[in-house]
């Protein structure tokens, strides 16, 4: 069994895989990581390997605790990957994007795949039908757009994502919702159209924390997959056991 750790700045996602099947998933605060790890190994004593993807430096104590229980692989740009990486600056490629490209490679090995990860940022990652990672784009995510309007103006309120009744906002709040929600959906649809114009038989996968909120609002045919990054990390772990 494998333990997958996706560590953000404040929250950690923990997933246990039995081969390619996810049998456990949990979110926890980074401060409680060590306690949760101990609980997990009590529940799943057959875990032998762990893959850790962290957006920032992980606390040395957390690393030490995890290493007590199993062999740990820390994802970086030096990690072996199953696809050809044609990114011009591979040392700057985020670990989340490496994992998403890996998941795309295994999910659609002989096809063109665009992965849209709608989280803190919206990232676009393209893997072609030759198994080559080409790169993509990075833009502000949903909540980052709401925060920017609030923080960089004198009078606009900070709002939570909401249902868009009409693209014409008739108040300040509805105008913000229209600008943010309508804007991000038109961006994603527009980017997908650009890729469709260049790549035939394109599969588009939408993932990330805002995937469900956005999926029903997009006009292009997509596949929403909430655990795509975790699956990619598990594939990477299996690949690097060799």
Dihedral of CA atoms 53, 55, 59, 63 in degrees, nearest 10, equals 10
Nearest to 25 by CA among 12, 34, 38: 12
Give CA–CA dist 64/67, Å, rounded: 5
Q: List, by residue number, the catalytic residues.
A: 96
Is 196 annotated to bind a ligand? Reply is no
Is 133 annotated to bind a ligand? Reply is no
Is 97 annotated to bind a ligand? Reply is yes
Is 96 annotated to bind a ligand? Reply is yes
Structure letter (DSSP) for residue 158:
P
Q: Would the CA dihedral through 172, 177, 182, 187 be positive or negative?
A: positive
b/e burial code for range 134-166 (CB count within 10 A of at least 16 → b): bebeeebbbbbbbeebeeeeeebeebebeeeee
Is 203 annotated to bind a ligand? Reply is no
Is 59 annotated to bind a ligand? Reply is no
The H or E element spanning position 34 is helix 33-43
Is 94 annotated to bind a ligand? Reply is yes
Task: Mention every residue, 6+ apart, whose C-beta is less than 8 A from residue 212.
Answer: 224, 226
Residue 48 CA, chain-centre distance (Å), reads 24
Is 61 annotated to bind a ligand? Reply is no
Is 89 annotated to bind a ligand? Reply is no
For residues 10 and 29, the answer to whether their CB atoms sit within 8 Å is: yes
Is 65 annotated to bind a ligand? Reply is no
Is 165 annotated to bind a ligand? Reply is no
Binding-site residues from annotation for ATP? 6-13, 120
Binding-site residues from annotation for substrate? 87, 94-97, 172
Binding-site residues from annotation? 6-13, 87, 94-97, 117, 120, 172
Binding-site residues from annotation for K(+)? 117
């Amino acid at each position: 069994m494998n333990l997958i750790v996706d560590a953000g700045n404040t929250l950690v996602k923990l997933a246990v895989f039995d081969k390619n099947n996810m049998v456990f998933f949990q979110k926890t605060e980074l401060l409680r990581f060590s306690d949760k790890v101990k609980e997990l190994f009590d529940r799943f004593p057959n875990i032998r390997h762990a893959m850790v993807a962290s957006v920032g430096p992980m606390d040395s104590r957390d690393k030490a605790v995890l290493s007590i229980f199993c062999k740990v692989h820390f994802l970086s740009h030096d990690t072996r990957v199953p696809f050809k990486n044609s990114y011009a600056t591979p040392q700057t490629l985020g670990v989340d994007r490496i994992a998403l490209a890996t998941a795309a490679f295994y999910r659609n090995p002989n096809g063109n795949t665009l992965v849209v990860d709608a989280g803190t940022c919206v990232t676009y990652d393209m893997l072609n039908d030759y198994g080559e990672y080409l790169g993509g784009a990075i833009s502000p995510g949903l909540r980052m757009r709401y925060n920017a309007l609030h923080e960089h103006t004198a009078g606009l309120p900070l709002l939570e994502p909401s249902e868009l009744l009409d693209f014409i906002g008739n108040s300040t709040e509805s105008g913000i919702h229209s600008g943010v929600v309508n804007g991000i959906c038109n961006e994603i649809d527009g980017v997908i159209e650009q890729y469709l114009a260049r790549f035939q038989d394109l599969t588009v996968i939408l993932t990330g924390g805002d995937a469900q909120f956005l999926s029903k609002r997009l006009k292009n045919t997509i596949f929403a997959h909430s655990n795509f990054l975790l699956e990619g990390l598990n594939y990477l772990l299996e690949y690097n056991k060799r």
